[in-house]
Amino acid sequence: MLRRSSILVERSSASGLTLVELLVVLAIIATLAGIVYPAIISSIQKSEAAMAAQRIDAVEKAKVQYRLLGAKNNEDERMIAETDAFVADLIKTL
């Protein structure tokens, strides 16, 4: 009789995760991922928008510096006009 009860005790202490426990853990992980994922995507989009704004600012500063040096001919003026149009389109997309 003692032997039989000791076997039962050993089996219950050596049991692993049941399928229900595993599914609960997976559900918790999925819920946390669902909460965190939109925040990560939002921060990535904000950083991409900030990078684009910095690049537009750099193009604007380069254009101003180029104008300060003085445009040499009509081709330079055309290039400046194209740059103005390009920057205006970029700003509209943001």
Separation of alpha carbons 55 and 62, rounded Å: 11
Quick one: pLDDT at residue 50?
A: 92
| pLDDT tens column, 80-94 | 788 788 888 877 776
Confidence (pLDDT) at 77: 73
Question: 87 and 63 in contact (C-beta within 8 Å)?
Answer: yes
Q: How far apart are the C-alpha atoms of 54 and 48, rounded to whole Å?
A: 10
How wide is the angle at C-alpha 61 spanned by C-alphas 59 and 63, nearest 5°?
70
Are the CB atoms for 56 and 87 separated by under 8 Å? yes
Is 72 a domain residue?
A: yes
Give the type of residue at 92. K
Let me know if residue 10 belongs to a domain. no
* Structural domain harbouring 24: 16-93
Number of domains in the chain: 1
